[in-house]
């Protein structure tokens, strides 16, 4: 794709405002059509305390590498969008923590133009990953419709991004603090395939169960990769969700998590915490109420998602190589017959 190749050449430069820098390992993999897995940075800055955030980020990257792909953590540092961070940059992001602006798609231009520091959400990470040609993105859980959405209209930009950006998001489902049935309805309306990996019930982040059925169940990474490649060949422009239940030994008790969630939501309402501040508050408060169990589950599910997501990325790369080879053979046979 000439346009994508040109974009990569521009992104590889060291330009000023609006520049994107692709880590050399990531650029090499993209140029060779090798598997790359995008990783968000909000989970580092806002999702966990320091130094556990940096330690977890490094462990996630190691899981991606050990399973055959190149990790590309995405963040904005000093006004430059980085696709792939070195160890020093990861440390900087982790120590800055919540001082980094939490960046959805709408915030990217502001943070770049003011040379600020920004941690990318699911929506922003998807957008940047798509821009440079990364097909698979691993995260903890996606945003969705907040409880009381019929009153507040508080719907995450993640859902809008999934409707218009061709990136597969591997996650542990929708965060349990959200209205999961309404979130799934919105995704259905947007035409986004929602896959339960080896699961008939849609997972709810800390919990393996949500009470909502997974729209699609697939039991292998190859089946998932084939669906993703088929969507691309059909020129579908939307993303795909692969919902992976948290490992059973780390799963939170659904009723206990729900009780903690309701208490945290009540406190957020009393303190009038809204918008982008509500999710970090709720996750931190739920962790306190559950005695730290939810944070432990968070780390476990992200590592598990990274393993499954990387296997999907590797399968996609293998399938595409086969397709390219078959096309090349067909072309050669056609030339020979002429």
Q: Annotated active-site positions, please? A: 40, 175
Residue 233 · residue 166 · CB < 8 Å: no
DSSP 191-245: T--EEEET-SB--BTTBS--SSB-SEEE-SHHHHHHHHHHHHHTT--S-EEEE-P
Residue 57 · residue 35 · CB < 8 Å: no
Alpha-carbon gap, residue 149 to 143, rounded angstroms: 13
Residue carrying structure tokens 């900087």: 92
* Residue partners of 269: CB distance under 8 A and separation at least 6: none
- How many angstroms separate the most distant Cα atoms in the chain? 77
Alpha-carbon gap, residue 40 to 75, rounded angstroms: 7
Angle between helices 180-189 and 157-164 (to 10 degrees): 30
Residue 162 · residue 231 · CB < 8 Å: no
Alpha-carbon gap, residue 149 to 180, rounded angstroms: 11
For the chain, what's the residue count? Answer: 338
Structure tokens at 124: 């922003």
């Amino acid at each position: 794709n000439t346009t994508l190749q040109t974009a990569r050449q521009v992104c590889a430069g060291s330009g000023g405002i609006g520049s994107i820098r692709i880590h050399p390992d990531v650029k090499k993999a993209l140029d060779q059509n090798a598997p790359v897995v995008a990783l968000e940075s909000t989970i580092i800055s806002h999702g966990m305390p320091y130094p556990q955030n940096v330690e977890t980020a490094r462990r996630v990257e190691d899981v991606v590498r050990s399973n055959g792909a190149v990790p590309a953590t995405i963040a904005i540092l000093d006004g430059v969008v980085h696709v792939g961070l070195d160890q020093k940059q990861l440390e900087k992001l982790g120590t800055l923590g919540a001082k980094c602006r939490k960046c959805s798609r709408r915030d990217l231009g502001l943070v770049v133009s003011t040379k600020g520091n920004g941690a990318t959400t699911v929506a922003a990470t998807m957008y940047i990953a798509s821009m440079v040609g990364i097909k698979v993105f691993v995260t903890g859980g996606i945003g969705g419709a907040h409880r009381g959405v019929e009153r507040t209209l508080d719907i995450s930009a993640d859902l809008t991004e999934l409707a218009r950006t061709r990136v597969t998001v591997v996650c542990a489902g929708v965060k349990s603090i959200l209205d999961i049935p309404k979130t799934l309805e919105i995704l259905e309306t947007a035409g986004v395939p929602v896959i339960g990996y080896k699961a008939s019930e849609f997972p709810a982040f800390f919990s393996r169960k949500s009470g909502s059925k997974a729209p699609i169940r697939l039991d292998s990474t190859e089946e998932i990769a084939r669906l993703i490649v088929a969507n691309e060949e059909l020129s579908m422009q939307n993303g795909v969700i692969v919902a992976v239940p948290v490992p059973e030994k780390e799963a939170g008790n659904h009723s206990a998590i729900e009780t903690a969630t309701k208490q945290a939501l009540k406190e957020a309402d009393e303190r009038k915490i809204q918008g982008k501040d509500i999710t970090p508050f709720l996750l931190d408060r739920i962790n306190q109420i559950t005695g730290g169990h939810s944070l432990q589950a968070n780390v476990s599910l992200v590592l598990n998602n990274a393993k499954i997501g990387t296997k999907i990325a590797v399968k996609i790369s293998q399938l595409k190589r086969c397709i390219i080879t078959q096309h090349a053979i067909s072309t050669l046979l056609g030339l020979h017959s002429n």
